[in-house]
Structure 1
Amino acid sequence: MARIALKAEYVRDLPLTETGQKFVFDTALPGFGIRIGTKAKAYICESRVKGRSRRVTIGRTDQLTLNDARRLAKRELAAMAGGVDRNKEKAEERASTMTLAEALNLYLKDNDLKESTATENRRLITGDFSDWLDKDVKGLTPTMVVRRFDKITERSPSVANHACWVLRAVMNYARVVTKTDAGEFTLPPNPCERLTDLNRWHKAKARTGKLAKDQFPAFFDALDAANNCDFADFMELLVRAGLRRNEAASLLWSDVDFESETFTIRAEVSKNGKALTLPTSKQIMALFERRREAAPDSLQIFGDAKRFDPRKSLNKLREAVGSDLTYHDLRRTFLSVAEEQAVPYSLLKKLGNHSAGNDVTLKHYANTIEHETLRPYMQKVNDQIDRLARIDNPELKARDAVKRLNSALQDLEEFEQYQVKVGELKRMVAELT
């Protein structure tokens, strides 16, 4: 922090910083100085108000002369000496006039949300709190929030939860951005906290929908008979790879490596914000190959996710399966089959592209898992899906037959009189495999 007798020419010629900020204070008027940033220079004054340090911005150096800035600084320094906290006043003024619409725009602008999340958040606020958008945030009371929550609950408890979660986040952010430089809140406590105090939030019911074992044949028969091949392939990929709907719908051909037989969920698509490369099974590779043959010039494997909500095709599939099947049910089906096939927990989390959360051990271990480690498990799950669906897979049937034969030979080895014949049969089986 430099100190110098400020002159107009000196202020004009001060270079901007490459990074961060730099301060130069005037020796003629203590507390008066210049803040230099990467994009602009501004006159400031600094003093203590009731024992706390305060810094007030007077104006940019290209908009005020040095003499005018020094005169305004004297006025501000005198006010601070009298106990006036200009920054607190500005923060309170901003807080008192900020509307819910302004708070929402600020929250969405400053937070790095996925486009789909930001769109949904805006829809919830503008839909369920449209009559509050022009109201000052400061005027939204706990009683208002509870009444609105109860009103939305009449329509849908889950929407009431979701809408007020977003409102709570917006209000929390508004409280933070309107704090004084000393860290003091200028807005009252978040009115949404009254819902917590009253234990009003609805307990979410865990969704457990998935394909039952006896539904697999009907599911795949319906896909074979579907008029919409795009829809059929999309649904098959969901159940065979355990992808989320958006992850599958956003796949580009550049995400698929036919040579290494892998595909990548890009970071911008992944729910946890991290890219993940997964191995394909033979069945998934066959699906990708027929998709490429059908649309060799397309950049996307499936195109926009919205294309894959054809109501007629989905309703026919639900009718064939005999349940109100959802896209996410197919992901749960994949993970359920993987669990039944004894896929280790850490690998199951990786296959499902789940976050490690607070599990420190899993977080570090899962980061070291390569796609080749996952490949046999991906194949194992897809083979089991073929068995459950009774799909005609000659290679799988042959492998299963050999496995059963080896098991039978193991049992026969216990009998001495069959040992010679068993040895001959084992040699024949070895030739087959």
Structure 2
Amino acid sequence: MNRKRLPPERERLTPDRIRRKTLPAEVAQAFLWDTDAPRLAVRVTAGSKAFIFEAKLNRQTVRVTIGDVRAWNLDAARDEARRLQTMVDQGIDPRQEKADRLAAVEAKREEAKRIKAPAMEAWQAYIDVRAPRWSQSHLGDHATVSKEGGDQRTQGRRPGESDKTLPGILRPLLRLPLEQIDADRVRAWLQDESIRRPTHTRLAFGLLRAFLNWCGDRPEYRDQAHTDACITRMAREELPKKAAKDDCLQREQLPAWFAAVRQIQNPVIAAYLQTLLLTGARREELAGLAWNDVDFQWKAITIKDKVDGERTIPLTPYAAALLAALPRRNEWVFSSPAAASGRLQEPRIQHNKALATAGLPNVTIHGLRRSFGTLAEWVECPAGVSAQIMGHKPSATAEKHYRVRPLDLLRMWHTKIEAWILNEAGIEQPAGEQAPSLRVITAA
């Protein structure tokens, strides 16, 4: 049912008249027009009264709500009505002007919210954009340095450690707004962290620098990011000089090392450590080896290379025997039912115990990779061959452009290396696999 429209009422508005104006029962809304500002009215609806402005623009009625009568005083409402009338006289639609003004206010509010937002939001956006180009190891580094912490520890803790995991090393910085991560704050962070964990701090510093540089190239973060917060000179001044690592198994240590490692009760870890030494692979490259990557028929392993995406290396006889004996519990060669990922995560504990049992000096997991490259020289293996097996970038023009070694050639040398290492360790070659003979090297 259509409600009646009352004829317009005009009289000089006063606070008392506005207060006494009521809504007749037969209409949905009523207007009380001002005589001082003719385009100003009080609109009365069920439960509310508001000042409105109404005029004609291009023969169309334009109506704009100024505001509730409880929020606007009468003089301010008249001034606003006159301002809106001026706009109409200039051909400007006040509704669009109001929409633009509200949008600008909202944009300003969002900008203030964004500036105050923790840098962690930009960090997550950075990871989402860059992750498809990163290796799993690199992605894991970003997760580690920025983790929230506070989770229950799943492994044994050191004396004095909490039973909860600690926040990532970059977490205190990423809790801050992006614009507050400047050179002074980064320097203070470096000075504090480099005393306790210099190696991890160096890694985190590099990740932070790459993140801030990325922010500096993004229009949404450019005005907040301090791309000069992680200058190289700062790292040189605040971080201890990085010493070259030289941990490596020597020829005479091989028997003791193999004896101790082969006694590890977990066959997966024992096989993993031996395969690591015999292939020279990186820790995560080998830990991420899937059964689909192993070709027992054609004696080849395809490794997810952190540099070139992947590389194929020979599957030597002893390494093949180690892998063939492992249980096929899931897709991973070095599986671990206790790990969330289903594959081996932490071989260092068992390796360190084996070193202690054998009475050997500390050799890191990466030291086993270094050992392969060093021991390969005993069979006069060309440096380019061992580098290709290990996944090193070619270091000379000839290697880059004039050496394309087939898998068979790599296998010939790789098998020699394995046979020599096993011979020095006093381990018999697998039955049915005959390694190429070695020539005796004598001094001239």
Q: Would you say same fold, with TM above 0.5? A: yes
Q: 1:296 deviation in Å?
A: 5.2
The question of 1:375 aligning with 2:411 is answered yes
The question of 1:303 aligning with 2:303 is answered no
- Whose helix proportion is higher, 1 or 2? 1
Partner of 1:390: 426
Q: 1:196 deviation in Å?
A: 3.4
What are the equivalent positions in structure 2 for 1:116-131 lying under 5 Å apart?
116-126=137-147, 127-131=168-172
What are the equivalent positions in structure 2 for 1:159-308 lying under 5 Å apart?
159-178=200-219, 187-193=225-231, 195-196=233-234, 199-265=237-303, 269-291=304-326, 295=327, 298-304=330-336, 305-308=343-346
Alpha carbons of structure 1 residues 287 and 130: separation in structure 2 relative to 1, 3 Å: closer
Instruction: Give yes or no for contact 2:255–2:426 (8 Å, CA) kept in 1.
Output: yes
Q: Provide Cα deviations, 1:262-282, integer angstroms capped at 9, x if missing partner.
A: 1111xxx32114221111222
| Distance (Å, rounded) in 2 between the aligned partners of 1:103 and 1:297 | 39
The question of 1:150 aligning with 2:191 is answered yes
Partner of 1:362: 399
| Distance (Å, rounded) in 1 between the aligned partners of 2:435 and 2:380 | 21
Q: Provide Cα deviations, 1:385-407, integer angstroms capped at 9, x if missing partner.
A: 0222122449879956xx67xx9
Instruction: Give yes or no for contact 2:209–2:227 (8 Å, CA) kept in 1.
Output: no
Q: 1:194 deviation in Å?
A: 7.2
Q: Provide Cα deviations, 1:167-192, integer angstroms capped at 9, x if missing partner.
A: 21221111111379xxx866444212
Alpha carbons of structure 1 residues 215 and 173: separation in structure 2 relative to 1, 3 Å: same
Q: Provide Cα deviations, 1:281-308, integer angstroms capped at 9, x if missing partner.
A: 22222223333xxx25653221155355
Instruction: Give yes or no for contact 2:269–2:350 (8 Å, CA) kept in 1.
Output: no
Instruction: Give yes or no for contact 1:338–1:381 (8 Å, CA) kept in 2.
Output: yes
Partner of 2:50: none
Instruction: Give yes or no for contact 1:125–1:163 (8 Å, CA) kept in 2.
Output: no
The question of 1:326 aligning with 2:364 is answered yes
What are the equivalent positions in structure 2 for 1:10-49 lying under 5 Å apart?
none
Alpha carbons of structure 1 residues 251 and 152: separation in structure 2 relative to 1, 3 Å: same
Letter in 2 for 1:299: E
* Alignment partner of 1:114 out of 135, 155, 160: 135
Q: Which runs of 5+ in 2 are unaligned?
A: 1-92, 102-106, 148-167, 337-342
Q: 1:361 deviation in Å?
A: 4.5
After superposing the two structures, state which structure 1 stretch, 270-279 or 221-230, moved more.
Answer: 221-230
| Distance (Å, rounded) in 1 between the aligned partners of 2:110 and 2:282 | 43
Alpha carbons of structure 1 residues 176 and 97: separation in structure 2 relative to 1, 3 Å: farther
Letter in 2 for 1:164: F
Cα-Cα RMSD: 3.7
Q: 1:146 deviation in Å?
A: 0.9
* Alignment partner of 1:105 out of 109, 124, 132: 124
Partner of 2:384: 346
Letter in 1 for 2:139: A
SS in 1 for 2:271: helix
Letter in 2 for 1:303: S
Q: 1:128 deviation in Å?
A: 2.8
Instruction: Give yes or no for contact 2:126–2:214 (8 Å, CA) kept in 1.
Output: yes
Letter in 1 for 2:140: T
Instruction: Give yes or no for contact 1:104–1:170 (8 Å, CA) kept in 2.
Output: yes
Q: Provide Cα deviations, 1:201-241, integer angstroms capped at 9, x if missing partner.
A: 43221221111111111112223333222222111111111
Letter in 2 for 1:143: D
| Distance (Å, rounded) in 2 between the aligned partners of 1:262 and 1:299 | 17
SS in 2 for 1:277: strand
Alpha carbons of structure 1 residues 240 and 347: separation in structure 2 relative to 1, 3 Å: same
Q: How many residues align?
A: 314
| Distance (Å, rounded) in 2 between the aligned partners of 1:234 and 1:272 | 22
Alpha carbons of structure 1 residues 313 and 174: separation in structure 2 relative to 1, 3 Å: closer
Q: 1:374 deviation in Å?
A: 0.5
Letter in 1 for 2:360: G
Alpha carbons of structure 1 residues 136 and 318: separation in structure 2 relative to 1, 3 Å: same
TM-score norm. by structure 2 comes to 0.61
Q: 1:165 deviation in Å?
A: 1.7
| Distance (Å, rounded) in 2 between the aligned partners of 1:122 and 1:398 | 46
Partner of 1:49: none
Q: Provide Cα deviations, 1:37-79, integer angstroms capped at 9, x if missing partner.
A: xxxxxxxxxxxxxxxxxxxxxxxxxxxxxxx9xx78xx89xxx
Alpha carbons of structure 1 residues 275 and 385: separation in structure 2 relative to 1, 3 Å: same
Q: Which runs of 5+ in 1 are unaligned?
A: 1-67, 77-86, 409-433
After superposing the two structures, state which structure 1 stretch, 223-232 or 210-219, moved more.
Answer: 223-232
| Distance (Å, rounded) in 2 between the aligned partners of 1:147 and 1:122 | 23
Letter in 2 for 1:253: W
Letter in 1 for 2:130: N
| Distance (Å, rounded) in 2 between the aligned partners of 1:198 and 1:245 | 28
Letter in 2 for 1:282: P
Partner of 2:34: none
Q: 1:122 deviation in Å?
A: 3.4
Letter in 2 for 1:149: L
Q: Provide Cα deviations, 1:105-151, integer angstroms capped at 9, x if missing partner.
A: 12111113234422322332452343433422222231211111000
Letter in 2 for 1:270: D
TM-score norm. by structure 1 comes to 0.62
| Distance (Å, rounded) in 1 between the aligned partners of 2:436 and 2:267 | 29
SS in 2 for 1:128: coil
Letter in 1 for 2:331: L
